[in-house]
Amino acid sequence: MPLPETIRVKLSSEAAEYVSLTPVVVQEMPLRDLVEHMLGVTGKDEVRICDLLLRGTLVSGASRFRWTGWVPDPAGVRALLTAFPDPDPTRPFYPAACTRAVLRGPRQPVSIPREAASRRGILDTLLRRSSFWDHLMSLASSGEAQYTTYSYRDRADVFTLPLTAERVRRLHRAVSLLRYTALQAQIKNTPLESAELYVVRK
């Protein structure tokens, strides 16, 4: 039996504070979109994808998806998975396509969207000062950012840059360029060991 193009899905929030407040939304979802959510959990594991389709439930991030499960055709699932990208360690780091960075250490990771880190104050703009994001990309372009994997959740290739003591000092010197004081404090107060860089494919 061929795979259906769409699935009737019940969507609700898994965030604890919203469980009793968020209504359940019922929608027709393209099967490809549902499987893409699964890939963020399973990777391209055909057996696990088939098992999830049969079970009829998936938690992805803060969302729970429920549908009427069925026994899927493995060949159809296999064909569907070929439409999704594979990890490609030969890909170079491309700073212009980097959309997010996550600074990691022994504590809570610090997520930095490109848009937030690229914003500059009026004076910085007038003086043509570089943004925090410019400094981070300069470090990442040193040639030491190593390919890690492909993130289906982010639709991006992931690179990892080790943060040496000198690189951390450079980031700390540039942190005042950020317009968000909470983000400044997070970076200053977090012991940093590496940066994950998310690069969307062109």
DSSP 200: -
Bridge partner list, 81: none
Task: Give me the residue spans of the domains in the chain.
Answer: 6-81, 95-199
- Dump pLDDT digits (tens) for 87-103: 999 999 999 999 999 99
DSSP 32: H
Angle of helix 46-55 versus helix 31-42 axis, rounded to 10: 120
Mean pLDDT of the chain: 91
- Dump pLDDT digits (tens) for 109-122: 999 999 999 976 55
Q: Residue 107: what pLDDT?
A: 87
Instruction: Let me know: does 91 contact 200? Beta carbons within 8 Å.
Output: no
User: Tokens 């003086």 appear where?
Assistant: 127
* DSSP secondary structure string for all residues of 130-169: PPHHHHHHHHHTTTTPEEEEEETTTTEEEEEEE--HHHHH
pTM exceeds 0.75 for this model: yes
Instruction: Let me know: does 197 contact 93? Beta carbons within 8 Å.
Output: yes
* DSSP secondary structure string for all residues of 49-103: HHHHHHHTEEEETTEEEE-------HHHHHHHHTTS----TTPPP-GGGEEEEEE
- Dump pLDDT digits (tens) for 151-161: 999 999 999 99
196 sits in which H/E element: strand 194-199
173 sits in which H/E element: helix 165-174
Q: Residue 143: what pLDDT?
A: 87
Instruction: Let me know: does 160 contact 140? Beta carbons within 8 Å.
Output: no
Instruction: Let me know: does 180 contact 137? Beta carbons within 8 Å.
Output: no
Q: Residue 186: what pLDDT?
A: 95
